[in-house]
Amino acid sequence: MSLDEKLRLLRIIGQKPDWQQVRLAMVIALNTTMRGCEIKNLRWQDVDLMGRSLTIRKSKTEAGERVIPLNKSAYTAILELRELARSRGIQEGRHFVFPARQNGNIDPTTPQKSWRTAWRKVTKAVECPHCGMLQDPKDTCQNENCTADMRNIKSPTASLRFHDLRHHAITELAESQASDQTIMAIAGHVSPRMLNHYSHVWLAAKRNALDALSDSFSKASTPKTGTSEPNEDEGGYDTSRDTNPQREKGASSEVIENYGRPEWTRTIDLFRVKEAL
């Protein structure tokens, strides 16, 4: 899921009050790496509002039991859920953060079983390019005053599963250059195959950061048009000149093999060096 797709989904899901529960669950998943089952089984006694963290006590595996700090987005979602719970008279710690709802009745002692129907509607929803009306995908716009052709309007998130939000959150952690250990501490159990995938993402993020550093250095070190090449006797930092022993000017050099280790070298094995003779 791209950033544009994520922002689009968040914008769409916030347009209908009926999608409030799934919207808040989505925000929490994107900002905590929590699985759907972990979110559904979360109780108020597991939420530390003062410490801004929550504890996963029931997960898919034992490794999934963990404490997750709440960032600003996740904390705001939890506060909204808290106000919603108070308005419904849900006060006890044993009550579920996402209580079951059947026939309009709320049962705080039972967790939400599923939001699959609402999630499918959210991910498949499209907007009319002419009137902007949010609707299910149809051949024509459902706005009676518009009736635009909608056959080619498709949702980019139509096949997105709720569980994919967890993968997206972990991928963003990897892109932020978080270590494997940090990812595991936040996300809990991650299969070796998926951890390998996130490690590649993490490596790519580091490579991009270093490439950007190289690009900026190249621009800064490129001589300006009309100026002469820098003289090595002038000021400035040069790795080979400033970190290695200086050679006498005019001395010839050749490649020699050493089995010893001069004090200024870093390699302890057989190596080749250029040394003034």
User: For residue 181, is it within any domain?
Assistant: yes
The single-letter code of the amino acid at 236 is G
Residue at 100 is within a domain: yes
Q: Which pTM was predicted? A: 0.71
pLDDT tens for residues 164-222? 999 999 888 888 878 878 888 888 877 777 777 777 776 776 677 777 777 776 777 66
What's 86's domain CATH number? Answer: 1.10.443.10
Give domain status of residue 97, yes or no: yes
* Range(s) of the domain holding residue 81: 3-115+162-204
Lowest mean pLDDT among 110-119, 154-163, 183-192, 268-277: 268-277
- Helix, strand, coil percent values for the chain (each to nearest 5): 45, 15, 45
Q: What's the maximum distance between 2 C-alpha atoms anywhere in the chain?
A: 93
In a domain? residue 184: yes
Whether 258 is in a domain gets the answer no
- 130 within some domain: no
| CA dist., res. 260 & res. 271, Å (int) | 9
Domains held by the chain: number: 1
Quote the mean pLDDT of the chain: 80
Q: Which residue has the higher pLDDT, 10 or 191?
A: 10
User: Considering the domain boundaries, does residue 138 fall inside one?
Assistant: no
Identify whether 244 is part of a domain: no
